[in-house]
Each structure stands twice: as structure tokens, then as C-alpha cells.
Amino acid sequence: MLTTSFTSEDFVFLLKGAATTLELTLASIVVGTVIGIFLGWARATMPKSTLPIALLMDVFKSVPLLIQFVLFNALKSILGLDWSLFTIGYLVLGLYAAAFCIEIVRGGILSVSPNIRRASRSLGMSYWQDLRFIVLPLAARVIFPGWLNLLLSLMKDTSLVVWIGLIELLRASQIIVTRIQEPLLVLSITGVIYYVMSLVIARFGNQLEKRWQEND
């Protein structure tokens, strides 16, 4: 008979870690999306003047997240900043997400035909009205699939905050494995939790896309 030291309290501990993972993912994607929308629009409309910004964001895109976590954590100590581990986690992940979101938004805006924009302006719309009511709604359908993939990827990348000591889902599983010495069981349960969270988000995104298509 299969026996295990894994208890219901351990499962609850994993769920608390999963909650931290979701909170970290939500905070990060909000930061990344806000920055991505603003700078993505700037990159689409002023590509030459915003080139320095693009080069700066390429740093966050290119440098491994683990190095970024370590450097930000060290910077906090050097500058004496009263930042929590959660704050460091979502700032690093948020800037990382923003680096990709900028290009996703830029591509979405550029996908809107210039003829559509000229037509809206000929109807008396201002630049900002055209951007708000015509360009962004049309671009959103192009942007959304890439944004959803970024969100799912970001949720898995939250596991790297283990290196700065934040207890999320993966760190919680490591703590349990150290105590009961049953890595196969614990990591299997952890993988199932990750899968369920990803599945729920992906299904919700797919349903939203279908509604958009039905309204076309």
C-alpha cells in the first residue's frame, strides 16, 4: 500500500504558494501592460525618437531574469530601500513583461490600416478620438493572443523569485520536499496546480476571443 507523509496541511501550504504566484503574476502583468501600452504607442508613432527607450527595454528582455532578480535585490540593499521581496518580484517581472508587451502593442497598432485611420479623421475625429475609438479596439484583437501568451509565460517565470526568498508555489513545494523527502509526489502535485491555473486562464482568454469573433 502506498504511504506518504504528505498531509492536507501541506496541500493548503501549496495553495497559499499558488495564491502568491497568482498575485505576483497579476501585479506584474498590470505593470507590464500599462508600460507596454504607453511605450508601444510611442514606438509605433515615433520610432526614431523613442529608439533609446527601445534599447533600454531590450536590456530587460535580454538579460536572464535570475540575474535581474539578484541585481535588483542587491540594489535595494545598496540604496537602503524599504522594498519587500514581493515588490522586487513584481517590479522585475513587470519590466520584463513590459519589454515584450511594447512590441506586442506596437505590432497591433501598426496592423491597423492607414486607410481606416484616414477615414476616421475625414469624419471629423481628432487624433485621440481616432486612437481611442478606432485604432485601439481594432488593435486589441491582434494584441490579445500575444498578450495572453505573455501572461501564461509570466506565471511560470514567477518561479524564479525563489532565488530572492519569496515563498510562491515552487518555493512552497521545495520546503515540503525538504521536510518529507518525497520529491516525485510533491512536484507532481505542484505541476498539476500550475497546469490548472494555466488552463483556467487560457480557457478564459479563448472564450473572450470567441465572443469578439461572434461580434464581428
* Domains of the chain, each with CATH number or no CATH: 24-167 (1.10.3720.10)
Write out the three cell numbers for 208: 473572450
**Predicted pLDDT of residue 126:** 83
- Please report where in the chains the cell 497598432 appears, as a residue: 109
For residue 212, count other CB atoms closer than 10 A to its CB.
13
CA 34 from chain centre, in angstroms, equals 11
Cβ neighbors of 116 (< 8 A, separation 6 or more) are: 134, 138
**Predicted pLDDT of residue 2:** 67
**Predicted pLDDT of residue 13:** 96
pLDDT in tens, the chain (216 residues): 468 889 999 999 999 999 999 999 999 999 999 999 999 999 999 988 989 988 999 999 999 998 999 898 888 888 888 888 899 999 999 999 999 999 999 999 999 888 888 888 787 888 888 888 888 888 988 899 999 999 999 999 999 998 888 889 999 999 999 999 999 999 999 999 999 999 999 999 888 888 877 665
Measured CA to CA, the distance from residue 27 to residue 207 in angstroms comes to: 23
CA angle 26, 102, 195 (to 5 degrees): 35
Sort 203 into a burial class: Cβ within 10 Å, 0-12 / 13-18 / 19+. Answer: exposed
* Exposure class string for 63-94: b at 16+ Cβ within 10 A, else e: eebeebbeebbeebeeeeeeeeebebbbbbbb
**Predicted pLDDT of residue 30:** 96
